[in-house]
Every structure is written in C-alpha cells, then in structure tokens.
Amino acid sequence: MPSRHDIVTFHDPPVPPGASPWVAGAGPSPDVRVVDPDPTWPDQFAHLADVVRRALGWRALVIEHVGSTAVPGLPAKPVIDVDLVVADAGDESSYVGALEEAGFELRVREPWWHEHRLLRPRPDAGLPACHLHVFGPDSPEVVKHRLFRDWLRGNPDECARYADAKRGASAAATAAGEHGMQYNARKERVVREIYARMFAATGLTDEFPDAGGSVGP
C-alpha cells in the first residue's frame, strides 16, 4: 500500500532523455470537448469492466470507475476513465496481450511514473471510448483517483467548482487549437485546490500538498 506521504504528494518526474510516454503512432488527443452528463456512463463502465475482467480473470486485482464520468451530474469529456490494478504493471506480458485480444491497444508507457500504462479501445472494437490506466498495487494514483471521485460525489459545491473549471478549460483549449494535455494543464490549479481541501478534510494532511506535478484523470 502507498504511504500517506505518497498519497498527498504529486509526483511529476521528468521524461528521461530520449524517451517518450507515447508508443509508436500515438499522441495526445486533439478532442477537448466537455459535454453534459450522460446517464449511460456507469453502464459503459460496467461493460468495459466486464470485458477487462473476462480478459484477465484474477489478474485484474481492481477495476475502478474514476474521473469525471464517475461523478453523477458532472460534465466531462465523453471518455470513461478506468483504473486497473495488476500485480506488476511493468510486466506487460502478463496483461497487454490479453487486453489486445479483447479489443484494446497500448498507447502510453511510463515506467518512470508508477509504471503507468494506458490502453484505449481499437476503433474497430465496438467498445465505449475509454482510458484504461494500469497501475501496480503500490501506486498512490489509484488512491488519489478514488478519493477525488468520492469527494466530488459528496460535495456539490466542489463538483460545481470543478465543472466550471472544466468548461472554461475546454472552451479556452478549443479556441487555441490545443490538445488534451494542454486542456488538463488549464484546469490544474483548480484541481489542486480541490485536492488540498480534500486531503485536509480526510486527515491525510494539515497543510496544502505540494502544488507541483500532474493531475489525475
């Protein structure tokens, strides 16, 4: 399990020289649309979780619906964020092949950041649009994502504040012709402020966490 310090710290190691998080042919999404809440998002997650579970069996230690589509009433990009926990995210041979057979393709490989991998459905797979994030059991990101989701579900004012930030970031990024990573950067300050209040309210910290680093889904 991750330590409390790791949970409240935002880790943002630099990309090693000569490396790229993107596998060949992949890159950040140009789609930064934020849409009204869709009541089918939980059902889409349930379908994706079933596909992943059938592909991996007991190797899927945790399959969690996270991100904005997991919060009722919250506008979001129409992409389901899923956290998948496996025994060793760095051992791609233990899960990537099975997920590829189920219709996913590997898009991101970040061994320097909690061994994070990201897969998306192939265009011909007939699966809902999603980001399938893969982490190991010790990753603090899985805890952060779950806490953030539950905090937004239980705090309407915070949810409304985040909705405003998302719509503003989407409009600005669209006007500037930016991609998804730049959209994320535009809402990062508000996200970090929400995290700080959440960490304090849950007793994880008495002070604001380090303001540096990247945000979750």
> From CA 93, how far away is CA 98, in angstroms rounded?
9
- What pLDDT shows up at residue 213? 39
Phi then psi for residue 70, to 5 deg, are -90, 0
pLDDT for 215 equals 44
Q: pLDDT means per 10 residues in the chain (217 residues)?
A: 93 91 91 96 98 98 98 97 98 98 98 97 97 97 98 98 97 95 95 96 76 43
CA distance 65 to 142: 11
Say if strands 130-135 and 116-121 run parallel, antiparallel, or are unpaired: antiparallel
Q: Which residue, chain included where needed, has tokens 């997920």?
A: 99
- Given strand 62-66, what is the order of strands in its sheet? 62-66, 80-85, 130-135, 116-121, 104-110
Check residue 50 and give its pLDDT: 98
Closest CA relative to residue 2, chosen from 101, 110, 139: 139
Q: pTM of the full predicted structure?
A: 0.93
